[in-house]
Amino acid sequence: MALLKREEWQGFVRDVDWSYRYVDDEAVFPEWLSGTGKVPREAWRAWEESYKVSYPEYVATQREKEAAVYAVKAALQRSSAFDSLSEGWKSATKMHFGGVALVEYAAVLAELKMARFGLNGSWRNMATFGQLDELRHAAITTFFGHEFVGKDAQYDWTQKTFHTNDWVAISLRNLFDAMMTSSNVVDIAIELPLTFETGFTNLQFVALAADALASGDVNFANMISSIQTDEARHSQQGGPTLEILVEHDPVRAQWVVDKAFWGSARAFAALTGPAMDYYTPLEHRKQSYREFMEEWIIDQFVHTLEQYGLKKPWYWDEFMRGLDIWHHGLHMGLWFWRPTIWWRPMAAVSPDERAWLVEKYPNWEKVYGDKWDVIIDNVNANNMEATLPETLPWLCSTCHLPACNAIQSRDGTWRVRDIPLSYDGRTYHFCTHGCRQIFWKDRDNVNHETLIDRFLAGQIQPMDVGGILGYMGLTPEVMGDDPDYEAWTKDYAGRPADGIAAAPPVGTAPVGTAPVGTAQS
């Protein structure tokens, strides 16, 4: 018997469904998992993916991709390519491996949820391929990062990060649990494939690949480029889902898109922003983070909103202003609290690097230059105590990142402002108005406790810097430190340095986080 051509059978099998005899539809597709909401059940029959693939085609293509990526890896394993990478670039990869490897695994679970509870057979088929994609991504990312553990213990956090209570891990768990683990499949399809994958993974997987190649990390560029080819296919689950939701419940559609975009933007400001504008060596930077965001994210996102008849989010002006602020503040926070992270953050504020920053961000010196100058003067005075933290940064109750976003005042100065909310008998603090609004609208959801909440509740013992580092899983051989202080401070050596902290007498214990007037631990 001759085989039918794909186009002769695929239209029939791609959305095969069942007629139930002894259960009703709600039992098979319960609302809390399938999330049809105001959309009539029959409306989902119109769901159609734009890129169709059969299982044999999928397997053949994936096999080729795997063979190619592992061939490059095998060839480079025998070279000394890794040893010639800059510490700054290595830090960018450590952030990526630790921050992404197990998010890929969480995405397996999200795709599996859509593969089971998706409201159309085509959607479920697409998600089945999607979960196979994500399983490959989790495996490949973990495997590639693991290769370097023998050379540098910080790469152990490829696998370890999400099993710790490090504040970066808590922040990412909070975002991705909301996006993937606790959502119904309609919200997942819009938050994960549509907003996160079509938008932000472009930034991490395409744009960062350019920096990787420029930095000489062919292996990393090869890995993330291979992953991105899958994203481009399975991310298409978002479009048809949003199209149907917009038609029947545009208010919900707008809210889900807005929330996912904001959460993704905050996370990428922390992870991709410092990697692009500070850790990537100056001579290898292709574009600034802001330029990447404008080219790869914003134009596309605005186009998507228009395409589906949605509006720009209510926070748009605050988000756009944040492109000049968020990741610079977070970089300074990551650097100052460097013992709490699993990579070696490069301050990267030498005169040449500052000139580049000012070219890309004209207000950079006004907002951050004075703070870095004090830090530089302390390093040059060999007063390293003054460059290390003795308390926690305040972590936003929505994004769990340090509240470090300066706002320009009417008099032209830049100040960080408190953005509080009193609710249910306590006061919460936020990094932005966007985070506060999302918290308020989502207040009945279960939210992770921030590290500050945990500390004040007595969950972290002893209540000092050592206790906090232990709680976060940091050990001395992994704790981050600047890999090369001299590189960014030597040009300032010998200049007058008034108003810096006095070096503590030898043998003085750190002040810790105990209140004033109490015994120090």
Partner 1 sequence: MTAELGAELGAEDRAPELVPLNAIFATDFVQILVPVTTANTMAEVAAAVAHHVEGKRVRALPYDKVVIYQGERLPGEMTVAAAGIKPLDHVTVEYDIPEQS
Residues forming contacts to partner 1 in the complex (CB under 8 A) are 329, 332-333, 336, 367-368, 370-371, 373-375, 378, 386-387, 389-394, 402-404, 406, 413-418, 420, 426-429, 452, 455-456, 498-502, 511, 513-518
C-beta closer to partner 1: residue 216 or 462 = 462
Q: Under 8 Å CB-to-CB from 470, ≥6 apart: which residues?
A: none
C-beta closer to partner 1: residue 261 or 326 = 326
Q: Residues 376, 379, 385, 387: is their CA dihedral positive or negative?
A: positive
Residue 382 beta carbon to partner 1: minimum distance, rounded to whole angstroms: 14
C-beta closer to partner 1: residue 199 or 402 = 402
192 token code pair: 């994960």
DSSP string, 147-208: TTTTT-GGGGHHHHGGGS--HHHHHHHHHHIIIIISS-HHHHHIIIIIIIIIIIHIIIIIIH
Residue 267 beta carbon to partner 1: minimum distance, rounded to whole angstroms: 18
C-beta closer to partner 1: residue 142 or 383 = 383
Please answer whether residues 244 and 194 qualify as being in contact, where contact means their C-beta atoms are separated by less than 8 angstroms: no
Please answer whether residues 137 and 103 qualify as being in contact, where contact means their C-beta atoms are separated by less than 8 angstroms: no
Smallest CA-to-CA distance from 275 within 203, 324, 223, 225 is with 203
Residue 488 beta carbon to partner 1: minimum distance, rounded to whole angstroms: 16
Cα(first)–Cα(last) distance of the chain, in Å? 81
Residue 381 beta carbon to partner 1: minimum distance, rounded to whole angstroms: 10
494: alpha, beta or left, given left = phi > 0 and alpha = psi -120 to 50? left
Q: Under 8 Å CB-to-CB from 381, ≥6 apart: which residues?
A: 497, 500, 503
Residue 86 beta carbon to partner 1: minimum distance, rounded to whole angstroms: 26
What is d(CA 336, CA 329) in angstroms, rounded to the nearest whole number? 11
C-beta closer to partner 1: residue 413 or 459 = 413
C-beta closer to partner 1: residue 313 or 402 = 402
Residue 227 beta carbon to partner 1: minimum distance, rounded to whole angstroms: 33
C-beta closer to partner 1: residue 310 or 511 = 511
Q: Under 8 Å CB-to-CB from 313, ≥6 apart: which residues?
A: 254, 257, 258, 261, 262, 319
C-beta closer to partner 1: residue 43 or 416 = 416
Burial of residue 53 (number of CB atoms within 10 Å: 0-12, 13-18, 19+)? middle
- φ, ψ of residue 208 to 5 degrees: the values are -70, -25
Smallest CA-to-CA distance from 403 within 177, 175, 164, 171 is with 171
C-beta closer to partner 1: residue 322 or 393 = 393
Q: Under 8 Å CB-to-CB from 96, ≥6 apart: which residues?
A: 204, 208, 220, 224, 271, 275
Residue 356 beta carbon to partner 1: minimum distance, rounded to whole angstroms: 20
Smallest CA-to-CA distance from 324 within 302, 294, 303 is with 294
C-beta closer to partner 1: residue 242 or 392 = 392
Residue 332 beta carbon to partner 1: minimum distance, rounded to whole angstroms: 5
C-beta closer to partner 1: residue 37 or 420 = 420
Q: Under 8 Å CB-to-CB from 251, ≥6 apart: which residues?
A: none
Please answer whether residues 295 and 287 qualify as being in contact, where contact means their C-beta atoms are separated by less than 8 angstroms: yes
What is d(CA 216, CA 99) in angstroms, rounded to the nearest whole number? 22
Residue 98 beta carbon to partner 1: minimum distance, rounded to whole angstroms: 22
Residue 405 beta carbon to partner 1: minimum distance, rounded to whole angstroms: 9
DSSP string, 445-456: S--PPPHHHHHH
Residue 337 beta carbon to partner 1: minimum distance, rounded to whole angstroms: 9
Residue 436 beta carbon to partner 1: minimum distance, rounded to whole angstroms: 13
| One-letter amino acid for residue 87 of the chain | E
Query: CB count, 10 Å around CB of 175?
Result: 23
C-beta closer to partner 1: residue 216 or 389 = 389
- φ, ψ of residue 429 to 5 degrees: the values are -125, 145
